[in-house]
Amino acid sequence: MNGDLIQAIDARRRLRTRATWKVVAGSLGAAAAFLLFRYLYWKEGFRGGPEALVFALPGALALAGVLELVSGTPLSEWSRRWDSLKGWQRGLLGAGIWLLALAAFVVGVVFWLEHQE
């Protein structure tokens, strides 16, 4: 019994350590990608396009780390749970998440516009 508890605690510690490294590496990578994108935009005339999505990859790594850190669940487990949902459940949940993100974006834009001087 004690051995199982110690293994469970150790597994959670390893998960949290990996997740923290993902957040740190993803955040540093996102900052570097942002600076590189700004340099390319202002100095080289780069205007984006589909290839600009590469700059979002470090941010995605950081967000995956945040999800793992907050939930205490590996991303592979989230994927398995998502895949086990029926199609209509995934559609409904995905639409709800999308609407929630849109609402947060709109609230942020309104807040930003109201606080412009």
* Residue 111 burial class via C-beta count within 10 angstroms: exposed 0-12, middle 13-18, buried 19 and up: exposed
- Mark whether 90 and 77 lie in a shared domain: no
- Mark whether 67 and 94 lie in a shared domain: no
Give the structural domain span for 96: 86-117
- Mark whether 64 and 105 lie in a shared domain: no
Q: What is the pTM of this model?
A: 0.71
Helices 75-84 & 57-71 angle (0-180, nearest 10): 90
pLDDT classification of 1: cutoffs 50, 70, 90 = low
How confident is the model over 59-109, as pLDDT tens digits?
999 999 999 999 999 999 999 999 999 999 999 999 999 999 999 999 999
Positive or negative, the CA dihedral 23, 25, 31, 34 is negative
- Mark whether 54 and 14 lie in a shared domain: yes
- Mark whether 9 and 38 lie in a shared domain: yes
- Mark whether 12 and 48 lie in a shared domain: yes
How many domains does the chain divide into? 2
How confident is the model over 28-42, as pLDDT tens digits?
999 998 888 888 878
